[in-house]
Amino acid sequence: MELRRWALDALCESDPARKAASTRELHEAAEGLAIEPHAPPATLPVPGRPRRPELVHPAKVPRRSPTKPEGLAALLHAIAHIEFNAINLALDAAWRFDDGLPREFRLDWLRVAAEEAYHFSLLRDHLATLGHAYGDFPAHDNLWQMCEKTSHDVVARMALVPRTLEARGLDATPQIQQKLRQAGTPDALRAVDILDVILRDEVGHVAIGNHWYRWLCARDGLDPVAHYRVLVERHAAPRLHPPFNEAARRRAGFSDEEIAILLG
């Protein structure tokens, strides 16, 4: 199968387990696949998702203490939902954009998609040990909404999804891990270990976003720092608030100038 067609098929798959499996199979096969110059059209809803979870306003997503089993399950579900969306975001990047992008762009985002699928599977399996499944709690749709806002501008997509929204995970994960360590239960400590894997890989994912954002800016004659501010305003990207994980952001490729702007 052609690479972009397979990416679209995985993107449109509504069953989470089948989506994760297809994504990882695609990544393994990607090096040998042909790539058409134009995206195949979608004939199914993009993205494919299960009937549940119910999607609600972010303020209505339950926030509970991880010191109790139900609260831990709600927290893990929220993170699993982020990872499920991240599979779709990476597949969409590999499928959608026609802007004369090199093969390496699509291979990078398929690698990201496969790693997000692995993260989702780790969280789904841990949820199962707590007596829950993905879909048991409400969730919000903010990540995919930004994907739709940037569907016609690959520069904006690179700026505002991996290096803005997903980079927020670099800041938030250590704080979540601290709360889980304070809870101290075996289930909470297993979640800390899973988040170690996710944080390690997410540094690489944000780095890929930084690389391609800068590559695109250089190609198009744009100043990456100045144009980022334009894109934030144009697409009403969320304002970022401290604390920031400066070390992880530097490993992910943020420059001294960008860190200084972030810190204000």
Task: Give per-residue pLDDT as tens, 201-211.
Answer: 999 999 999 99
258 part of a folded domain: yes
% the chain with pLDDT above 90: 94
Q: In degrees rounded to 5, what are phi and psi of residue 55? A: -95, 125
54 part of a folded domain: no
Picking from 70, 61, 78, the residue whose alpha carbon sits closest to that of residue 187 is: 70
pLDDT band at 173 (very low <50, low <70, confident <90, very high): very high
pLDDT of 64 reads: 78
CATH number at residue 178: 1.20.1260
141 part of a folded domain: yes
Q: What is the pLDDT of residues 248-259, one digit of tens each?
A: 999 999 999 999
% the chain with pLDDT above 70: 100
55 part of a folded domain: no
Q: What is the pLDDT of residues 5-36, one digit of tens each?
A: 999 999 999 999 999 999 999 999 999 999 99
Q: Which burial class, exposed, middle or buried, applies to 251 when counting CB atoms under 10 A from its CB (0-12, 13-18, 19+)? A: middle
Are the beta carbons of 134 and 71 closer than 8 angstroms?
A: no
pLDDT of 65 reads: 84
CA 95 vs. chain centroid, Å, equals: 15
pLDDT of 75 reads: 95
pLDDT of 62 reads: 77
Which residue range is the domain that position 237 belongs to? 3-47+61-263
pLDDT above 90 for 99? no
pLDDT of 166 reads: 96
pLDDT of 13 reads: 98
> Cα–Cα distance between 125 and 140 in angstroms, integer?
21
pLDDT of 245 reads: 97
15 part of a folded domain: yes
> Cα–Cα distance between 103 and 106 in angstroms, integer?
6
Please give the sequence-ordered ranges of beta strands (E in DSSP) within 79-202, or none if there are none. none
116 part of a folded domain: yes
Q: What is the pLDDT of residues 212-246, one digit of tens each?
A: 999 999 999 999 999 999 999 999 999 899 999 99
Q: Per-residue pLDDT averaged across 156-166, rounded? A: 97
52 part of a folded domain: no
Q: How far is CA 147 from CA 47, 86, 144, 169, 245, in A?
A: 10, 10, 5, 17, 24
pLDDT band at 102 (very low <50, low <70, confident <90, very high): very high
Q: What total number of domains does the chain contain?
A: 1
53 part of a folded domain: no
Q: What is the pLDDT of residues 43-93, one digit of tens each?
A: 999 999 999 999 999 888 877 789 999 999 999 999 999 999 999 999 999
pLDDT of 71 reads: 95
Measured from the Cβ of residue 190, the count of other Cβ atoms closer than 10 Å reads: 16
What is the rounded average pLDDT for all residues in the chain? 96
pLDDT of 44 reads: 95
**Triad 8, 10, 11: Cα angle to 5°:** 60
